[in-house]
Structure 1
Amino acid sequence: MPFSTAPKESMSRGVLASLPRPRTRRRRLTAALGGSLVVIAGGTWLLLGTGPRPGDHAPMAICAVDGFTLRADVDADGHLDEVNEGTSSAVFQRDDHRTVVRVDDARGFWQKLRGASKEDMETRGAFGDFDGDGYLDLAVFYSQQDEGDSPQDNMVVHEVHYGPLARDLSSDRTGTIRIRSSSFVYEARAIDTDHDGRAELEVLQSGGDGSVSSHVGRQDRGGVSVSREGTHDFEPYREPDALGYDACEDR
């Protein structure tokens, strides 16, 4: 009786069918691209984060504790927070937990990366209601300090974060601070000098040769425009009403 190969062929087909099919070049490329996108998306999420989002509580009255300290509902959660213009920080109080967030944290990942290669980069900020909607806003500058008497021309960030702010001081709505010079910003102040509900932005900026120029900015076209005119005045002490807000009753 002749030897039959039928069982062997059937077995061979079963074994081959159970093996993974070899990938074509196109399938391998598609799989590689898909994996890369997942890694990039995951890495971006980890680097940028989502940030704690603000609430939707109606604006609460802003009051001044002294010439450097404000009380306001920064994140619109219905609880008053404290803002210190002297240290450029916000203090969020939740029950017995106290969290201090500095304006340096308001810079995004890419903004921090842009200034990482430069030396002597400093962040300055000022809290004030620039657009008059009742929520506290934050003006942020990120610039390079002078080298001796020669001003550096490197300002990476000059923008306004409009409130309500998240608890990392970020915002979904930002505007440009239109400022002519890119020299170092020593200090930024938000003062409602005319008590119209819209704070003015005072910028104390390097003028070269050790001088300091004071410029004033106001809400304009979705951002803040800073005037060209300036004075040379650096005032370290301010009266309790210098921020332009009424005094807190329980201070």
Structure 2
Amino acid sequence: MVCSDKDGMTLTADVDADGRLDEIRDPHRSGDATVVFSRATTAAEVRVGQGRTRWQKARSALSPDMETRGAFGDFDGDGYLDLALFHSQEDDGDYARDNVTVHEVRYGPLARDLSGSRTADIRMAALGFVYAALASDENHDGRAELHVFQSTGDGGVNEYTGRGEGNGMTLSLVKGGFHGRGDVDALDPGWPDFGICAYPAA
């Protein structure tokens, strides 16, 4: 079961398939989310930025201005929540830097370090800074769509979208999906598409 709070800022699901409902919180609607794993007596909080592997962290350790974004949704329709993960370099002033060191989907159930049962590539048309990564289920078919907003430099942002293809996904440019930086800050995360929780989050 996956559902959203009425404001679309908290997603409730059994992320690690242990029988307890967990929460994914993204109050800034950017993909810089925190997963709160429920336990019998305590809760463990893991930010998306902590979910990179040791090798992924080492690979970008010397690059400045790197940021992690993640989108949670059931991209393959198997009932488990998946994670689309990106690690990219912010713009240098008005100039985009083409440096995305992580672009992958981790299929659920997810462990408490946000690793997946298997991992596949997200094929990207561009490698600009990922301002935001969001998931939605606009056609309510139980398979989430991925929306990624990337810098084009000089304050411009292009929108790309993709759906699960059995082994990863391919992002395609959305026609007319050019945004300004302020538009990205005001984006709706799409989580209400998953259905509103009928009870308080656990």
TM above 0.5, one fold? yes
Tell me which residue corresponds to 1:158: 103
Tell me which residue corresponds to 2:24: 83
Name the Cα RMSD after superposition.
Answer: 1.7
Rate the CA distance shift 1:207–1:164 in 2: closer, same or farther, 3 A.
Answer: same
Which of 104, 107, 120 is matched with 2:52 structurally?
A: 107
C-alpha distance after superposition, 1:199-236 (max 9, x if no partner): 11000110111111111111124001101335123354
Which of 139, 150, 169 is matched with 1:224 structurally?
A: 169
C-alpha displacement of 1:177: 0.6
Q: Is the 8 A contact 2:137 2:190 kept in 1?
A: no
Q: Is the 8 A contact 1:85 1:189 kept in 2?
A: no
Q: Is the 8 A contact 1:127 1:190 kept in 2?
A: yes
**Secondary structure, in 3 states, of the residue corresponding to 2:194?**
coil
Q: Which amino acid aligns with 1:84?
A: R
Q: Which amino acid aligns with 1:159?
A: E
CA distance in 1, matches of 2:190, 2:158: 23
Which of 244, 247, 251 is matched with 2:193 structurally?
A: 244
How many residues of Structure 1 are paired with residues of Structure 2 in the alignment?
191
C-alpha distance after superposition, 1:162-183 (max 9, x if no partner): 0000011011300111111111
* Percent identity between the two aligned chains: 51
- Normalising by structure 1, report the TM-score: 0.72
Tell me which residue corresponds to 1:21: none
The structure with more helix, counted as a fraction of residues: 1
Which of 170, 176, 183 is matched with 2:115 structurally?
A: 170
Q: Which amino acid aligns with 1:130?
A: F
Which of 158, 169, 173 is matched with 1:213 structurally?
A: 158
C-alpha displacement of 1:188: 0.2
Rg larger in 1 or in 2?
1
Q: Per chain length, whose mean CA-contact separation is higher, i.e. which structure has more relative contact order (CA < 8 Å, sep 6+)?
A: 2
Q: Is the 8 A contact 1:68 1:240 kept in 2?
A: yes
C-alpha displacement of 1:242: 4.6
C-alpha displacement of 1:98: 1.6
Q: Which amino acid aligns with 2:9?
A: F
Q: Is the 8 A contact 2:12 2:22 kept in 1?
A: yes
Matched, 1:185 2:130: yes
**Secondary structure, in 3 states, of the residue corresponding to 1:101?**
strand
CA distance in 2, matches of 1:118, 1:144: 8
CA distance in 2, matches of 1:155, 1:172: 23
Rate the CA distance shift 1:204–1:239 in 2: closer, same or farther, 3 A.
Answer: closer
C-alpha displacement of 1:93: 1.7
